[in-house]
Amino acid sequence: GAGVSQSPSNKVTEKGKDVELRCDPISGHTALYWYRQSLGQGLEFLIYFQGNSAPDKSGLPSDRFSAERTGGSVSTLTIQRTQQEDSAVYLCASSLGIGVPTYNEQFFGPGTRLTVL
Partner 1 sequence: SQQGEEDPQALSIQEGENATMNCSYKTSINNLQWYRQNSGRGLVHLILIRSNEREKHSGRLRVTLDTSKKSSSLLITASRAADTASYFCATDEGEETSGSRLTFGEGTQLTVNP
Distance CA(63)–CA(30), nearest Å, equals 25
Q: Which is nearer to partner 1, 41 or 115 (CB)?
A: 41
CB of 59 to partner 1, least distance (A): 7
Q: Are 69 and 60 in contact (CB under 8 A)?
A: no
Looking at residue 72, the DSSP 8-state letter turns out to be G
CB of 49 to partner 1, least distance (A): 9
Q: Do β-strands 112-116 and 10-13 pair in parallel, antiparallel, or remain unpaired?
A: parallel
Q: Which is nearer to partner 1, 14 or 71 (CB)?
A: 71
CB of 94 to partner 1, least distance (A): 9
80-99 per-residue burial string, b: 16 or more CB within 10 A, e: under 16: eebeeebbbbbbbbbbbbee
CB of 65 to partner 1, least distance (A): 15
Neighbours of 67 (CB within 10 A): 22
Q: Which is nearer to partner 1, 41 or 78 (CB)?
A: 41
Q: Which is nearer to partner 1, 45 or 61 (CB)?
A: 45
Residues at the site binding partner 1, with contacts judged by CB under 8 A: 4, 30-31, 33, 35, 37, 39, 41-45, 48, 50, 56, 59, 89, 91, 93, 95-111
